[in-house]
């Protein structure tokens, strides 16, 4: 685990350090203008593969947790976020049926194999309350077929359909599936549009089919 965690630290620093402030501002807009509709302010939220805390730092929730193998996540998340450093495919401690929301962005494709993806989703299902939501955002291999592999740590090609299938296998009902949602990347080498464009983009779903390269899939844990 230490070797993998050290590698993650270097990758995050190399890929995102120059755009960190911009990324936090973008995620504040994404949380306030879009994702808040799925996440009531009294929710208990876990950010799975939290990275540098862009989502969990900006979402409004009653309790906030972050899970990541990278130790630097614990430094980057806000003081009101409780951080757990661990392999996501192993049993998550302390969360059994206690979470309202599990959110993950640009993470599942980095896992080493499909078994790890399925184990991770199964853990999310176990730890969510009945009726809780798993919100998944990630690059859609159908729309970034070559560029998908420009990142060394991309392992699993996913589409909105393949992800929805494994969510169903793990006990989720699909309540939202958008094949083309956000543009692809906010890495150091990506073009970073003015923040006003981000707000406008979210308000114009008809342009998502032109510029969107990432899916949004939301599964709901079956109520008992």
Residues 66 and 47 sit within 8 Å (Cβ to Cβ): yes
Mean pLDDT estimate for the chain: 91
Tens of pLDDT along 9-61?
A: 555 554 555 567 888 999 999 999 999 999 999 999 999 999 999 999 999 99
Q: Give the pLDDT of residue 1.
A: 45
Percent residues over pLDDT 90 in the chain: 77
Coil, helix or strand for 102?
A: strand
> Nearest-5° angle of CA 18, CA 22, CA 23?
95
**Mean of the pLDDT values across residues 116-130?**
97
Q: Give the pLDDT of residue 193.
A: 82
Q: Give the pLDDT of residue 150.
A: 86
In angstroms, how far is CA 113 from the centroid of its own chain? Answer: 17
Comparing CA positions, the residue from 76, 46, 79, 43 lying closest to residue 62 is: 43
Q: How far apart are CA 140 and CA 135, in angstroms?
A: 15
Q: How far apart are CA 181 and CA 7, in angstroms?
A: 29
User: What class is the 2-221 domain?
Assistant: alpha beta
Tens of pLDDT along 125-155?
A: 999 999 999 999 999 999 998 888 888 889 9
Domains of the chain, by residue range, sit at 2-221
């Amino acid at each position: 685990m230490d070797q993998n965690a050290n590698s993650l630290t270097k990758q995050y620093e190399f890929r995102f350090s120059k755009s960190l402030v911009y990324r936090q501002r973008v995620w504040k807009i994404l949380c306030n203008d879009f994702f808040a509709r799925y996440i009531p302010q009294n929710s208990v939220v876990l950010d799975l593969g939290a990275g540098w805390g862009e989502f969990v730092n900006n979402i409004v929730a009653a309790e906030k947790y972050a899970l990541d193998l990278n130790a630097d996540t614990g430094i980057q998340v806000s003081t009101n976020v409780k951080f757990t450093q661990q392999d996501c495919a192993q049993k998550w401690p302390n969360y059994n049926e206690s979470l309202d929301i599990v959110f993950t962005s640009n993470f599942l494709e980095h896992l080493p194999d499909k078994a790890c993806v399925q184990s991770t989703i199964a853990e999310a299902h176990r730890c969510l309350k009945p009726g809780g939501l798993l919100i998944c955002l990630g690059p859609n291999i159908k729309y970034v077929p070559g560029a998908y592999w420009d990142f060394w740590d991309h392992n699993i090609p996913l589409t909105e359909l393949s992800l929805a299938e494994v969510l169903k296998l793990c006990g989720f009902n699909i309540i939202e599936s958008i094949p083309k949602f956000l543009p692809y990347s906010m890495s150091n080498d990506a073009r970073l549009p003015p923040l006003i464009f981000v707000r406008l983009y979210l308000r114009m779903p008809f342009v998502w089919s032109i510029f969107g390269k990432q899916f949004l899939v939301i599964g709901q844990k079956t109520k008992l």
